[in-house]
């Protein structure tokens, strides 16, 4: 029996080696595919922004366009590729520079890119309960914590005061408006804290929610948030060991540009 096992062991080791290689190849492909897809999207968006900046538009025309409900020029080409694209999020000096998708649930873009193709890296996407035409008291965005700091891979860095001080603004542009997100909180939590609440029944409920956020925050930012304000929540899985139920959260005050 022992002799049989000893003869089988090389094959077992080989199988383990091949399977480990397969998993590594899948892992590396995720980053290659994600980088390629993201670069394509970024180029489309940046070219559209440049073209928009070169067009002189009067204030009267701008108002007329908004009244008609037309999307902003920089999103026209992207919207032709995928009508689920509802905006763009970026932080200066970082690798966070992504389109924002929105589906009819919070599962569809977990493992799909901006062209709806299968992708383990997924996309940055907005909670299906939110409405870009009428931003609620809490707009929630989700994204994977990629190790190369793309998507929401850099969120955890906001828990360091120095990093937060250097990156106090997160830029969010929707199809219709542009916003500055003034960061005021960053922390690790579990799913027991319902930080993705979007509908608050009373003002007291919302105030209690803000107080809970501030009590959990690892950073102290010069941003005041009250009843009349709206916030944006960025959520990602914690990429540490045994983090199935852990999340990393960054929240900021929504300020229209």
Active site residues: 237
Least Cα distance to 113 among 101, 103, 104 occurs for: 101
Q: Within a 10 A sphere around the Cβ of 192, how many other Cβ atoms?
A: 7
Query: Counting beta carbons within 10 angstroms of the beta carbon of residue 228, is it exposed (0 to 12), middle (13 to 18) or buried (19 or more)?
Result: exposed
Query: Left, alpha or beta for 187 (phi > 0: left; psi -120 to 50: alpha)?
Result: beta
- Is residue 45 within 8 A of residue 52, CB to CB? The reply is no
218 vs 204: CA distance, rounded Å: 24
251 vs 257: CA distance, rounded Å: 18
Q: What is the DSSP letter of 247?
A: E
Query: Could you tell me the end-to-end alpha-carbon distance of the chain, in angstroms, rounded to an integer?
Result: 75
Q: Within a 10 A sphere around the Cβ of 170, how many other Cβ atoms?
A: 24
Query: Left, alpha or beta for 30 (phi > 0: left; psi -120 to 50: alpha)?
Result: alpha
Say which residue the tokens 């892992």 belong to: 27
Q: Which two tokens stand for residue 234?
A: 């960025």
């Amino acid at each position: 029996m022992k002799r049989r096992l000893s003869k089988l062991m090389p094959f077992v080791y080989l199988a383990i080696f091949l399977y480990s290689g397969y998993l590594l190849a899948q892992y590396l492909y995720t980053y290659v595919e994600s980088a390629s897809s993201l670069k394509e999207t970024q180029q489309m968006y940046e070219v559209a922004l440049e073209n928009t900046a070169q067009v002189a538009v009067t204030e009267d025309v701008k108002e007329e366009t908004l009244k008609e409900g037309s999307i902003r020029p920089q999103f026209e080409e992207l919207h032709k590729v995928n009508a689920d694209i509802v905006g763009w999020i970026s932080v200066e000096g970082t690798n966070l520079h992504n389109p924002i998708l929105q589906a009819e649930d919070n599962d569809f873009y977990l493992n799909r890119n901006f062209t709806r193709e299968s992708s383990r890296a997924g996309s940055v996407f907005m909670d299906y309960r939110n409405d870009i035409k009428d931003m609620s008291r809490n707009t929630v965005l989700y994204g994977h914590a990629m190790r190369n700091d793309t998507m929401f891979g850099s969120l955890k860095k906001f828990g360091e005061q120095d990093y937060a001080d250097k990156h106090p603004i997160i830029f969010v542009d929707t199809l219709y408006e542009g916003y500055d997100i003034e960061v005021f909180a960053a922390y690790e939590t579990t799913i027991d804290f319902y930080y993705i609440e979007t509908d608050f029944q009373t003002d007291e409920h919302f105030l209690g929610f803000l107080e809970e956020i501030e009590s959990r925050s690892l950073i102290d930012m010069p941003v005041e948030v009250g009843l009349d304000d709206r916030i944006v929540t960025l959520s990602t899985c914690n990429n540490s060991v045994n983090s199935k139920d852990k999340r990393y959260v960054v929240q900021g005050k929504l300020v229209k540009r």
